[in-house]
Amino acid sequence: MNKFLISNNFYFVNEIITKEIKDIDFLEFNYLKISEKTDIDLITNFLESLPFSDTKKVLLIEVEQFSIKELKEILSNSNENTQIIAVYYLKNKLDKVDTKLSNLFKNNGFTILKSDKVNLELVDKILKSKNIPVSATTFIDADNMDVVLNDIEKISLLDEEELINVKKYISESFDSNIFELINSILLGDLDEALNKYSHLKENPVAINRIVLKQLDQIRIIKSYPSSFKSELSKRGYSNIHPYRLQLMKKSSINTVIDLNMAVMELMKNDIDKVFNFETSILKIVSTKNN
């Protein structure tokens, strides 16, 4: 079965590839990995030839190396003897797959699999297997599983006393910076909020949208303390991790800003598309909740 993988980490892709090629005896003939711009003829020749002393061949191709037109040509030469695993690596948390690209593989019968979040269940298993007394939620804000695995290797060398302050050994991430930015805004700490924002290089429109979503969720929790779960669900906010939900509940109690005003300010930005996010931070932090 052909697959289109959308991932922000190599771990996910390697797990799938390892499974698919484990029964291939002659990998040098029956497995081809394309991770850079390559002549189309080389790929089509591989697809058209029969497996050598194996039941199948596997082609792994990183799609960002090719145009839609080139990918169409490659797929037109596919056959039942060769399994194609196409991969799109997400560049960052805000990156999305082009609809035309996604539809190309969908219309050609590919199974689409996505991995852009940290698998906390897997992280918990790895920590336990290494006897590291740290909660998996420590890594909830990590950029991807590759970063998590690298950080686990680092902290596995720490002693119990050092593990008390384990977060200082964890890699800084986009999500952690966003969380700290939002937390600074909620606490009315202008200097810290501006400092955290300065570390975020992504599109201000996208950052505005993420902060808007988080503040809106916290506003709902604050407005409906006894029924916030159902209210969040009504507004399309589902599948929030319990740990994250607990943090937002705490934030809804401790915040000093006017959440209604904050949401309205960020909604206006989302509509206008042209704005100064730092000015919005100043407005929100300066308007304290009465």
Domain ranges of the chain: 3-115, 120-169, 174-286
Residues forming beta bridges with residue 272, ordered by sequence position = none
Work out the average pLDDT over 192-196.
92
Q: What is the pLDDT of residues 212-238, one digit of tens each?
A: 999 999 999 999 999 999 999 999 898
> Minimal CA–CA distance to 197: which of 212, 182, 186?
182
Look at the block and give the residue holding tokens 């771990």. Answer: 11
How many Å is the Cα radius of gyration of the chain?
23
Specify whether domain 174-286 bears CATH 1.10.1740.10.
no
Distance CA 269, CA 280 (A): 9
User: Quick one: pLDDT at residue 220?
Assistant: 96
> CA–CA distance from 212 to each of 174, 186, 190 (Å)?
16, 12, 17
Answer for the pair 194, 188: CB distance below 8 angstroms, yes or no. no
Torsion of CA 109, 111, 112, 114, to 10 degrees: -170
Q: Which ranges of the chain does DSSP label H, i.e. alpha helix?
A: 10-21, 27-30, 40-48, 68-76, 99-107, 120-129, 145-155, 160-163, 174-186, 190-198, 204-223, 228-234, 242-254, 259-272, 277-286
Is a pLDDT exceeding 70 seen at residue 42? Answer: yes
Work out the average pLDDT over 87-97.
86
Tell me how far the alpha carbon of residue 141 is from its chain's centroid: 10
Q: What is the pLDDT of residues 116-167, one digit of tens each?
A: 989 999 999 999 999 999 999 999 988 899 999 999 999 998 988 888 899 8
Question: Which CATH number describes the domain made up of 3-115?
Answer: 3.40.50.300
- Model pTM greater than 0.85? no
SS3 83: strand
User: Quick one: pLDDT at residue 23?
Assistant: 93
AA identity, residue 179: F
